[in-house]
């Protein structure tokens, strides 16, 4: 009985030693084709007249400039996003200082003023737009 079992195990070992697994190579999945369509982004900026302007003309020019810069900032926030950092100081379980800062660090070229509206109180509202084309997609 022991000899039969030993012969059976030896035969089974010889049979199984000739078997092995053949690895199958898989082809990489094809990359999806992404098509970029131009996107137009619009933003509105507001400006208030400065209190220390020398005359009305200077106040209007400074207000228009402030509104245009605000519109640029809003465009960039919509396109690139905003980096927010916050800091809180606590002493003896009491909040001493809490500050939140936002920062937009980007470059914009090709934005144009679409509409400018002058308010009765001297404020100015500027609407700007920019069209993001293929070169914008290549940046990212």
The three-state secondary structure class of 103 is strand
Q: How do the domains of the chain map onto residue ranges?
A: 35-139
Nearest to 75 by CA among 101, 106, 36: 106
The string of pLDDT tens digits covering residues 114-128 is 999 999 999 999 999
* pTM for the predicted model, two decimal places: 0.61
The 8 Å CB, 24+ separation contacts for 34-38 are 36/134, 36/137, 38/131, 38/132, 38/133, 38/134
The string of pLDDT tens digits covering residues 23-61 is 777 777 778 777 778 888 899 999 999 888 899 889 999
- What's the pLDDT band for 113 if we cut at 50, 70, 90? very high
């Amino acid at each position: 009985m022991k000899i039969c079992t030993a012969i059976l195990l030896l035969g089974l070992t010889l049979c199984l030693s000739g078997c092995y697994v053949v690895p199958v190579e898989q082809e990489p999945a094809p990359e999806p084709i992404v098509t970029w369509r131009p996107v137009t982004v619009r933003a509105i900026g507001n400006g208030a007249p400065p209190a220390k302007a020398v005359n009305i003309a200077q106040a209007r020019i400074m207000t228009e400039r402030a509104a245009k810069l605000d519109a640029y900032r809003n465009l960039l926030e919509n396109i690139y996003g905003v980096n927010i950092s916050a800091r809180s100081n606590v002493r003896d379980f009491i909040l001493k200082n809490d500050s939140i800062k936002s920062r937009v660090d980007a470059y914009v070229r090709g934005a144009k003023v679409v509409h400018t509206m002058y308010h009765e109180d001297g404020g100015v509202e500027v609407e700007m737009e920019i069209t993001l084309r293929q070169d914008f997609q290549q940046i990212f």
